[in-house]
A and B are shown apart, each in its own frame.
Chain A
């Protein structure tokens, strides 16, 4: 076997030009496929990284009715029959293997009733949060501090705002230590926070708007314990989980939603927890472009077929040329299988080399595409390995006919020819 490979290399090397031209079909086909696959992979990666999970793999599991998220803006819009999320339920969600952290929070859409001195803030969200919230959503403190244990246990009227709210309400003043009226309750600002990996949302419809509107005019955060001070009641909560990886987002979200839904059964208006499926939306987009890409790959596949036929052609010529060599080998005792093996190895080595060169050319080509058109590319290693193996298979398939022909040569006839 090893001897055959050595012989094959010798044969290929002694006909450099011919071998290269034979390989060319395979090289072009594989290069085309590799560059197409790299472009697809690059685009998919970019979509996933930029769009999904705002880069930190969080999934919102919101109360919804009829497929639409429920927005609570006053006490009449609170869905009935939905309990608060218990510590036990949170622990259960936290123990899911694809969930790295979880937080439950109250949220309301506030239209007015928030004042600082003479200015007011309208049309924004206020969250009643637990200690996990900032960690789960990757918030960092810009100035001041985050909530302390005391804030929760003593029902302190403390407030943390995000940078947008700070800009809209305080207009350049230092907000730390100032008092803000929320529903006529005085709250002291203790910190300003920002989200580390936020993204610019791509809003195309109403759903997208509701998905992303919560950070439009700014965000207020109060300790969950202090929530009834402002709004009088405990309210049903929404949940946000952080998945262990981007690929886990859909599964983790679905699992969390079903755990939450199992805690109640008599809610009004078909109210259920529903996980946002950003990954699913992106997948739909990708599937659309994938059909086009599949067609491209098919076309490249045809060039591989043509390359394979070229290999067969040259191998047939080579068998005819080497008739007396084959005859001699059979005369001195080479079995049919040995001759067959020798020619098959030669074909397979030839096309594998073509495949390797093709992968190289494909990588170079996708780098060029990236440089000149800016399309993101990512080299897909498994695809490259498959490409080389596939070209080896082409060699074996298309080398079969010439090899069988060689192994069936009559040694007497073969020796007689010069």
Chain B
């Protein structure tokens, strides 16, 4: 089991009053799973993500990553875990604006102490695997949103982590780029990468094999993976039908216009 959270409580102490954010959250994720955590804003999903990502500590509860208790580690070891075992993808990409795509992707390798030549080779490899082999020396400002997020994914995957954490990865993307991104996630998952993704959109959550709902700090499992997959197929068919309909409508409109002129 790669992720094992049991009875996680998290309170925020604002000084005057204590705000409970997570309430008895337990989540188990097996190696190779693809889990979406869905919930409206303020539901505590980002807090849960920060705890999973070793950026934050719960008030109480237990958390094992790869069978290792991470809550008794110091900050230094936590940073090491983030570096070696986790890959992060953020809603707003979080690329360094003055650095090329290649340099952005190579950044975790710098912290891992990899030599320059090897860094460049592995960063180039990661960029190629997300289809950006011809954009390596572009700066983030020269890339589209979808390309930026793919750079971010390359950066997350460059250290070959076991677990990919994505926080609203499609939040800043248009629907076309979102679908592309979800295809990329699926491919990564097929290659054996465990993915935990946070989203508030049911459309996006539908791409995952398993969905958990979080509401007011309480988590609940939704449906089985089979139904989920069926739903997804159904949804894709629906979208395909809609696009076909749109094409027909456009074609008929064009016909009407040419007819009016004649």
Chain A interface (Cβ < 8 Å from any Cβ of B) = 3, 10, 14, 324-325, 327-336, 338, 411-412, 415, 418
Contact of A412 (CB < 8 Å), options: B55, B76, B111? B55
Q: List 26 A-B contacts (CB under 8 A).
A: A3-B116, A324-B94, A325-B96, A327-B94, A328-B94, A331-B88, A332-B83, A332-B108, A332-B155, A332-B156, A333-B79, A333-B84, A333-B108, A333-B112, A333-B159, A334-B79, A334-B83, A335-B75, A335-B76, A335-B80, A336-B75, A336-B76, A338-B111, A412-B50, A412-B56, A418-B92
Nearest neighbor of A4 in chain B, beta-carbon distance:
B110
B53 interfacial by beta-carbon distance below 8 Å: yes
Within 8 A of A (CB), among B44-63: 50, 53, 55-56
Contact of B55 (CB < 8 Å), options: A334, A411, A418? A411
How long is the Cα–Cα vector from A375 to B178 in the complex, in angstroms?
Answer: 74
Greatest chain B CB density within 10 A among A324, A325, A331, A333 is at A333
B82 interfacial by beta-carbon distance below 8 Å: yes
B90 interfacial by beta-carbon distance below 8 Å: yes
Taking a contact as CB atoms under 8 Å apart, the answer to whether B94 and A415 are in contact is: yes
Nearest neighbor of A2 in chain B, beta-carbon distance:
B116
CB contacts (< 8 Å) of A333 on chain B: these are: 79-80, 82-84, 108, 111-112, 159
Q: Is the interface of A mostly helix, strand, loop or mixed?
A: helix
| A3-B116, A333-B84 known, 4 other contacts, Cβ within 8 Å | A331-B53, A333-B80, A336-B79, A338-B111
Minimal beta-carbon separation of B164 from chain A (angstroms)? 12
CB contacts (< 8 Å) of B84 on chain A: these are: 333
Taking a contact as CB atoms under 8 Å apart, the answer to whether B111 and A332 are in contact is: yes
How long is the Cα–Cα vector from A330 to B90 in the complex, in angstroms?
Answer: 14
Taking a contact as CB atoms under 8 Å apart, the answer to whether A14 and B111 are in contact is: no
Count of CB-CB pairs between chains A and B under 8 Å: 54
CB contacts (< 8 Å) of B176 on chain A: these are: none
Minimal beta-carbon separation of B92 from chain A (angstroms)? 7
How long is the Cα–Cα vector from A10 to B97 in the complex, in angstroms?
Answer: 12
Q: A14-B98, A411-B55, A415-B94 are in contact. Are A329 and B107 (CB under 8 A)?
A: yes
Nearest neighbor of B97 in chain A, beta-carbon distance:
A325
CB contacts (< 8 Å) of A415 on chain B: these are: 90, 94
How long is the Cα–Cα vector from A328 to B156 in the complex, in angstroms?
Answer: 11
Q: A332-B107, A333-B112 are in contact. Are A10 and B98 (CB under 8 A)?
A: yes
Q: A412-B50, A412-B56 are in contact. Are A332 and B88 (CB under 8 A)?
A: yes
CB contacts (< 8 Å) of B55 on chain A: these are: 331, 411-412
Nearest neighbor of B91 in chain A, beta-carbon distance:
A415
Minimal beta-carbon separation of A19 from chain B (angstroms)? 14
Taking a contact as CB atoms under 8 Å apart, the answer to whether B82 and A332 are in contact is: yes
Minimal beta-carbon separation of A357 from chain B (angstroms)? 24
Minimal beta-carbon separation of B221 from chain A (angstroms)? 26
How long is the Cα–Cα vector from A81 to B257 in the complex, in angstroms?
Answer: 137
CB contacts (< 8 Å) of A418 on chain B: these are: 92
Q: A3-B110, A412-B50, A412-B55 are in contact. Are A335 and B79 (CB under 8 A)?
A: yes
Minimal beta-carbon separation of B198 from chain A (angstroms)? 13
CB contacts (< 8 Å) of B50 on chain A: these are: 412
How long is the Cα–Cα vector from A129 to B78 in the complex, in angstroms?
Answer: 88
How long is the Cα–Cα vector from A418 to B108 in the complex, in angstroms?
Answer: 21
Contact of A331 (CB < 8 Å), options: B82, B98, B110? B82
How long is the Cα–Cα vector from A418 to B93 in the complex, in angstroms?
Answer: 11
How long is the Cα–Cα vector from A333 to B75 in the complex, in angstroms?
Answer: 11
How long is the Cα–Cα vector from A384 to B88 in the complex, in angstroms?
Answer: 48
CB contacts (< 8 Å) of B110 on chain A: these are: 3
CB contacts (< 8 Å) of A327 on chain B: these are: 94
Nearest neighbor of B94 in chain A, beta-carbon distance:
A328
Minimal beta-carbon separation of A409 from chain B (angstroms)? 12
How long is the Cα–Cα vector from A333 to B112 in the complex, in angstroms?
Answer: 8
How long is the Cα–Cα vector from A415 to B55 in the complex, in angstroms?
Answer: 11
Nearest neighbor of A411 in chain B, beta-carbon distance:
B55
CB contacts (< 8 Å) of B156 on chain A: these are: 332
How long is the Cα–Cα vector from A325 to B92 in the complex, in angstroms?
Answer: 12
